[in-house]
Structures are given as structure tokens and as C-alpha cells.
Amino acid sequence: MIPQTHLKLLRTFVALLLIPLTFSAQNYKPVGDKIKTKWAEQIDVNAVLPEYPRPILKREQWKNLNGLWDYAIEEVGKSKPSKADGKILVPFAVESSLSGVQKRVGKEHELWYETTFVVPEDWNGKQVLLHFGAVDWKTEIWINDIKVGSHTGGYTPFSFNITPFLTDSKGTLVVKVWDPTSEGPQPRGKQVKNPEGIWYTPVTGIWQTVWLEPVHKKHIKDLRTTPEIDNQLLKLDPIIENATYGDIVEVIVKDGDKVLSVTKASATEALEIPISNQKLWSPESPFLYNMTVKLISDGATVDQVESYFAMRKISKKRDQHGIVRMQLNNKDYFQLGPLDQGWWPDGLYTAPSDQALKYDIEKTKELGFNTIRKHVKVEPARWYTHCDELGILVWQDMPNGDAAPIWQNTTYFDGNELQRSAESEEIYRKEWKEIMDYLYSYPSIVVWVPFNEAWGQFKTVEITQWTQSYDPSRLINSASGGNHFQTGDILDLHNYPDPEMYLYDANRVNVLGEYGGIGLPVEGHLWKTDNNWGYVKFKNSKQTTDQYTAYAKELMELIKSGFSAAIYTQTTDVEGEVNGFMTYDRKVDKMDIEKVRSINQEVINTIHQ
């Protein structure tokens, strides 16, 4: 039995050990006086975004590095600061409230991070991968004072094998980030140095989960899945790291837990897997097949991942009236959805929780929509899995960068296109390919959108043709809202506030890529207390709902004339914009949900009448 005096000493010692962690955790709080979501109040600094970050390629073992790190802001080109400025809550951008910092960085400064980690003992003998979900924009990484790699691009995941740089189970991670935002040519979406109107706050640094993962030296790096419903098969291209001749990939396809097929091939070969009695995926029935993929070397399973896929087809076809319609699974299908910016008043680019990330998609479905246009932003992997599981079609924009040339939106373009520098062109091509690679296997994505409203638009025909060639399984909306060229699958018009068809292409799909923007400021739920705007503004929910219904009825007539999809602006208020279905803090639904849902169903069904 331990004497009481010894127990008291032991308790005191343990308490002293816990003081640094408790002190920093208790002193963390979101900063600033801007509105916040309900999820901001539920932040646990010891379990920040704890869900597995990449559910489409899932392993059992991993370690989340999110949490309170040291940070410092230093002039460009200076050495790592000897002292931290304070603590930052990763993965929230330094400009955000949830970071606990809310400071600007800018082109003239660099953002430094530092944290320590411990590799679990049962990872011994494994390679350790360090993953970043996304960091905006130029990132340099050190492990134990050794620079191990760098990355440019603010929207795609990247990783490094840090095993050679670990001398024991403990490691120190240092990250340096530089981001010129609107003062550079790189893709940035709605971020600008001086936010106003439709342009928002800069986002610098880590904004998605940072994590460790143990793998065998030979392991599955990616799985590219392409469903072919007409041939009742799935094409699977496994991308294997360090494969050697004789290694085997085994694919087990399941309906729930029921095994449907087992297929094996050399690790260097693509697979074609027959899917008999296929269950097709749609927003009304978002069925996903489960898939276990094993890598076998010398008779032993050296890697295993859980994944999923869907059998669905997106295409276009001329209907009985001569109108080229978008089709889903070989049937005419009207796509209707909101413009979704993916911004948060407390986390900016980063949702405060996975529940919050999922909430906007669930609300979109509740409003009766079947589509989301993800506007000049790319989301974390979990967002796309939520879309796959809940059943929503996604149009994926390329985040814009560089300059905006002349915008001709009501006619076909007849001017001189933007001349980007060689560096700017290279950045665009690299990042667009990386985004398409990252998102290729998510069945919810049905349309790629390389350009929007002439922002950074260059060599339109060439970029469109490259996009079509790189992924012929989806439709290409080359320039949403112009500048218009007769290339790609879609002619996309923007008109505010009411729907209008001022151009028509008899050989392509015609869509209304943006309209609406009905504004309703709600006191107590505004990012800005003054200078709020919408394309047209009203004073109460009934007026706003009535106007939405009136526009929907106008839209139904234009569908008969040729529109095959429409995107309403927008899901939520964002900063100074007050034209969302919800307030920016997601606390108020601004329209009558049942009435919106009812009229949306009428709009969608117009194409079948």
C-alpha cells in the first residue's frame, strides 16, 4: 500500500506535468468580434477535426497532428525566429478567428509553424508519411532541423516520407509558408488583399488536417476509378509506390458487407471489373459499392485500404425537340443547385467541424436541390465523400488567379485573350492537373469548370481541350459566365437577378450558371454591420421566398426553351454578401424551406414534362 504522503507527492508531480497543456488549452479561444457558428463553441483543442481525413483511401492506423502549435510571422527571407509569437490552432488559417490569432501575413512576410510529435511504438518497421490536406500557398518543411521538401499550390494534398529523418520516436516539425494572395498570379479564388463586395479575406498557411500515417515501403498511393455503366464494368487504375514485378493487387468489391467479386492483377496493370446487376448512383439513390484493395508481395499482404466507388454516367444527348440535354445514367436530368462558396465566418476556408462541413450539403438537399457548384474553391476530401454518400452532383470550379481581362458575357468573345506570363501559365496548368488528379475518383463530380467570368482566363480552347482529353468521363464547362468560346460541352450564362437566355448554342448544353442573388440582411447575423449587399434586396423572409418562387417560374419557361441546368446564388451569406439561403453563421434560414423545396422539385421535373 502506498503511504498518503507519497500519494500527495505523486499527485503534485502529475499536476505539474499537466500545467503547460492545461494552461495553453484553457487560454485558447476564438478571437475577434465577428459572428460565429454554433460549432465554434464546441472546439476541443485536443481533438480538432478528429475524423480520418481521406475516407476514399482509408487505412486503420494514423495520427492527427492538429492542435495548438507555435507560430511566428517574420519578414520574407529571414531565418526561423528564435521565439514564437504565440500559439495557433492548426488547421485554421492565421487570419481566421478559430486560429486564435486573426492576423494578416501578406506578401512581405512568411508564416512559421513549429510542433513536436511522437511516432507510436507499434509503427516500428513502417515508413512514416507526413500528410498535409492543403496549405496556401508555398510551403517548406523541416523535420528535426533537416529540410525534407517543399510544395506550391493552395488546394491539394501533399505528403513526404519522413522516415529517414527520424532518429527516434520523437520529431520536431517546422513549416514555413509564403502566400502573396492577390498580389501573385497563383490560384486564390475569392481571396484578396483588401476584401470588399464579392471578394473575401486572405487565407494563409495550413487550412486542412496535418497527419501521420504508417505504410509499408511498397504501398497503394492512389486508386483511379472510372465507371462504365454501358459496359457494366469498373475501370480501376491502382497507383503503387515502389512496386516490383510480381507484386499483385487484389480488389474485393462489396455491396455493404456482401462480397460480390474478387479480382487480381499485376500491380503494374489496370483492372476491368465486371459489375453485374449494377445499382446506379444518383442524387435520389446514392448507392456506393465498398471496395477493399490489397497489395500482395511475395505472398504477403503488405498494404490494405478501404475505398468505394459508384456506377454512374454523366453525358449529353439531343432530345426529341432538338435540344442538347445533360443526362445522368442515360436519362435527361435537370441539374439545379446553389453556388457554394465554402466559406465560414469563424474558420474562413476551414469548417469548424466535420458536422459543419456536412451541414451545408444536408441543407442543400433539404432545399430540394440535386447539384452544388463548388465556386472557385476546392474542399477537403471528406466534403466530397459527404456529397457521394448524401447524393449531390458537383460542378468543380478551378480557383481563379492572375488578372481579369476584358469580360464579354453577352456575346461570343471577339477580343484578345489575357496574356499570362510563362510562370503564371505553368502554375495554372500544374495546379489544375493536381486538382483533377486529387478529385478524379469522386463520383459526385460531374462537371469541370476551368474558368469563371474571364477571371484569369487564357488560351480557353487549348485549356478546354486539354481538360476534355485528360478526363473524357465528365462534361467540361469551359468558361462559366464567359468569356464565351465555342468549345467544351456547355454554354454557361450568368444573369442577375432574374433568369435570362441571351445566347443559345444548338450544338452544346445550355445552362444558367449563376442567377438570383436575392439579398436579405438579418440583424445580429451580419459579418459587416454596414455596407451589405445582394443583387436585389428585401426586408423579410416572405418577400424573399416569393421572389425566389417568381424567378423559379421564369426559369421553368426557359428550360422549355433550352436550359438544362441552373445555379442560384447562393448557399449562405459570405462576409459582405447577404444573398444566401442561410446567414453566414448558419443560424437562420432566410427563406421558407418547404416552399423553396416544392418549387425546386417543379423546376427539376420541367425537363420530363
- The pLDDT tens digits for 428-460 are 999 999 999 999 999 999 999 999 999 999 999
Q: How far apart are CA 379 and CA 104, in angstroms?
A: 22
- Report pLDDT for 601: 98
Measured from the Cβ of residue 319, the count of other Cβ atoms closer than 10 Å reads 12
| Contact assessment for residue 487 and residue 460, using Cβ atoms and an 8 Å cutoff | yes
Stretch 399-417: mean pLDDT: 90
- The yes-or-no verdict on residue 2 having pLDDT over 60 is no
User: Which position has the higher pLDDT, 405 or 394?
Assistant: 394
At 27, the pLDDT band (50, 70, 90 cuts) reads confident
User: Cell for 205?
Assistant: 498557411
- Report pLDDT for 288: 98
Q: How far apart are CA 548 and CA 529, in angstroms?
A: 25
Task: Name which of 602, 596, 495 is nearest 547 in CA terms.
Answer: 596
SS3 363: helix
Measured from the Cβ of residue 133, the count of other Cβ atoms closer than 10 Å reads 24
Q: Are strands 518-519 and 479-480 parallel, antiparallel or unpaired?
A: unpaired
| Contact assessment for residue 157 and residue 197, using Cβ atoms and an 8 Å cutoff | no
End-to-end CA distance of the chain: 83
Q: Which residue is it, cell 437577378?
A: 497
| CA 375 from centroid of its chain's CA atoms | 10
- Report pLDDT for 117: 98
For the ranges 217-231, 322-336, 403-417, the lowest mean pLDDT is seen at 403-417
Contacts with 222 (C-beta within 8 Å, 6 or more apart), sequence order: 57, 238, 239, 437
- Report pLDDT for 609: 54
Q: Determine if the peptide bond prior to 570 is cis (ω within 30°).
A: yes
| Edge-to-edge strands, sheet with 138-143 | 86-90, 67-75, 109-118, 170-178, 138-143, 146-152
Stretch 35-57: mean pLDDT: 97
The mean pLDDT value of the chain amounts to: 94
Task: Name which of 95, 64, 319, 116 is nearest 203 in CA terms.
Answer: 95
Stretch 10-37: mean pLDDT: 65
Stretch 91-116: mean pLDDT: 98
Q: How far apart are CA 134 and CA 435, in angstroms?
A: 11
Q: How far apart are CA 481 and CA 199, in angstroms?
A: 17
| Contact assessment for residue 304 and residue 251, using Cβ atoms and an 8 Å cutoff | no
Q: How far apart are CA 298 and CA 300, in angstroms?
A: 6
Dihedral angle sign, alpha carbons of residues 179, 153, 139, 85: positive
| Percentage of the chain lying above the pLDDT 70 cut | 95
At 8, the pLDDT band (50, 70, 90 cuts) reads very low
**Burial, 293: exposed, middle or buried (Cβ in 10 Å; 0-12, 13-18, 19+)?**
buried
Task: Name which of 128, 132, 173 is nearest 153 in CA terms.
Answer: 132
- Report pLDDT for 24: 57
In 505-563, alpha helices (H): 541-561
Task: Name which of 368, 173, 177, 228 is nearest 284 in CA terms.
Answer: 368
- Report pLDDT for 529: 82
- In the chain, count H helices and then E strands: 7, 34
| Contact assessment for residue 558 and residue 572, using Cβ atoms and an 8 Å cutoff | no
pTM of the model: 0.95
- The yes-or-no verdict on residue 13 having pLDDT over 60 is no
